[in-house]
Amino acid sequence: MSAIIISGKELAKEKREQMKVEVDELKAKGVTPGLAVILIGDDPASQSYVRSKQKSCHEIGIHSELDTLPVTTSEEELLLKINALNNAEHIHGILVQLPLPDHISEEAVIEAIDPKKDVDGFHPINIGRMMTGQEAFLPCTPYGIVEMIKSKNISIEGKHVVVVGRSNIVGKPVGQLLLNENATVTYCHSRTKNMKEYTLNADILVVAVGKAHFLNAEYIKDGAVVIDVGVNRNDEGKLVGDVDFEQAKDVASYITPVPGGVGPMTITMLLHNTIISAKRSLK
């Protein structure tokens, strides 16, 4: 048996077609969704992410602004910049590209963004609302993962989900979102003993540790759904996931590829959140 591929690339394309229509409808009502991105320094990976975010905005008709600041920018200057965007009527979403230089507090920056414009879904208010099942901007990668699982009509309710990784950006929130969908959730992390005991019991396995081929087929139950969030370069410079895809695809029932899996959905959900924010501004 070979697993069915859950292509984030295809799902993203489908969702973006629908979003184009939503953006056109908003424009007809006099509102153009606007996303502001702040990039500090010249980290190549961050620059590449920002470029693809801008390109995606352009493709579906979202107005996007990029503010590139030198690595010497002070925390105070950055917070002033965010405050100005909080008050800018034409901007519905604000995103500060992480990681930040060491002298700037990530916490202070995230908390400075108006929760109503926090389209990344990282503000403690949005995280708290997500935890309690209220309306909130959901973090983009976890949100994309849930959409991918649902796109294949895979039932989440009552399933045992094992999340490997506990980052604030992916691990913790994806477990919470799947809990909100009535799954039973177990977290594994670097201090977990006998990890295999847990992963072999997973109906749905989400792996987000950032280590190439961290798990192989021995860790996966027959017929499990495998969501691979990792994006790593192997020794040959090829992009690979946290899961050994070639091995896992013979055991899993569904699997996400790397590249072309979770990645394209992250930006898609960012666009979605920006459109939602623009719609709310109409009310």
Domain ranges of the chain: 30-115, 140-262
Taking the C-alpha atoms of residue 216 and residue 240, their distance in angstroms, rounded to an integer, is 13
CB 256 within 8 A of CB 230: no
Say yes or no: domain 30-115 is CATH 3.40.190.100. no
Reply yes or no on whether the pLDDT at 265 is more than 70. Answer: yes
**30-115 against 140-262: fold identical:** yes
Compute CA distances 80 → 74, 75, 87, 116, whole Å: 10, 9, 11, 18
Looking at the domain 140-262, which fold is it?
A: Rossmann fold (3.40.50)
The residue annotated as part of the active site, out of 15, 53, 221, 249, is 53
Handedness of CA 199, 204, 209, 214 (dihedral sign): positive
Can you tell me the mean pLDDT for 91-120? 97
Q: Which of 97, 172, 176, 244 is catalytic?
A: 97
Residue 166 labelled as part of a binding site: yes
**What is the distance between the alpha carbons of residues 205 and 224, in angstroms, rounded to a whole number?**
7
**Which one is predicted more confidently, 84 or 235?**
84
Percent of the chain's residues with pLDDT above 70: 100
Q: What angle do CA 50, 211, 158 make, to 5 degrees?
A: 90
pLDDT at 74 over 80: yes
What is the pLDDT, as a whole number, of residue 1? Answer: 67
Which is it for strands 232-233 and 239-240: parallel, antiparallel or unpaired?
antiparallel
Rounded to the nearest integer, the mean pLDDT of the chain is: 97
- The per-residue pLDDT for range 31-73, each reduced to its tens digit, is 999 999 999 999 888 999 999 999 999 999 999 999 999 999 9
Cα–Cα dist 15/37, whole Å:
22
User: Which tens digits make up the pLDDT trace of 177-203?
Assistant: 999 999 999 999 999 999 999 999 999
Q: In the structure, what pLDDT confidence band is assigned to residue 85 with cuts at 50, 70 and 90?
A: very high
CA-wise closest residue to 205 among 228, 180, 231, 232: 228
- Residue 231 annotated as binding site: yes
Confidence class of residue 283 from pLDDT cuts 50, 70 and 90?
A: confident
- Six token digits for residue 114: 């108006």
pLDDT in tens, 1-36: 699 999 999 999 999 999 999 999 999 999 999 999
Once rounded to an integer, what is the mean pLDDT over residues 197-218? 97
Alpha helices, H only, 102-215: 106-112, 124-131, 140-151, 171-180, 195-199
Question: If you average pLDDT over residues 217-237, what whole number do you get?
Answer: 95
Say whether 120 is catalytic: yes
| 257 upstream amide cis, omega within 30 of 0 | no
Q: Is 172 a catalytic residue?
A: no
249 is catalytic: no
**Catalytic one among 118, 120, 228, 242?**
120
